[in-house]
């Protein structure tokens, strides 16, 4: 079990680094991890929507599609929270890049 947690953490760390550099693919992979529970990640549709939203913003058609798909399973409040978190990520990464 400890190895699967380490591999999940490595997956997250490497994808977060890519996402911070604007990789739509890394954002999409984070969305998949949170929507499916990949590598022992907890399923979290708010986090998944956030990452799919960021992937879509980066030009990922798959991100757009998956964002729409999971939005059907979410409340309006959850979607609003995911959008707020996506905006906060954009602001935080733009500040670091400046």
- Compute φ and ψ for 68, nearest 5 degrees: -65, -40
Share of the chain above pLDDT 90, in %: 64
Cβ-proximal residues to 96 (8 Å cutoff; 6+ apart), any chain? 20
- Structural domain boundaries, residue 44: 2-97
- What is the distance between the alpha carbons of residues 28 and 41, in angstroms, rounded to a whole number? 15
Q: How far apart are CA 98 and CA 86, in angstroms?
A: 18
Q: pTM of the entire structure?
A: 0.86
- Looking from the CA of 29 toward its CB, the CA atoms found within 13 Å total 17
**Residue 17 pLDDT > 90, yes or no?**
no
Tally of domains in the chain:
1
pLDDT surpassing 90 at residue 19? no
pLDDT in tens, 29-86: 999 999 998 877 889 999 999 999 999 999 999 999 999 999 999 999 999 999 999 9
Cβ atoms of residues 98 and 62 within 8 Å: no
């Amino acid at each position: 079990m400890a190895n699967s947690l380490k591999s999940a953490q490595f997956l997250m760390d490497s994808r977060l680094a890519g996402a911070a550099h604007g990789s739509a693919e890394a954002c999409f992979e984070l969305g998949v991890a949170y929507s499916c529970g990949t590598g022992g990640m907890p399923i979290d549709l708010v986090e998944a929507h956030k990452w799919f939203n960021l992937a879509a913003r980066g030009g990922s058609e798959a991100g757009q599609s998956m964002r729409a798909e999971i939005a059907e399973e979410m409340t309006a409040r959850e979607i609003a929270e995911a959008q707020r978190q996506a905006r906060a990520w954009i602001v935080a990464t733009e500040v670091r890049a400046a």
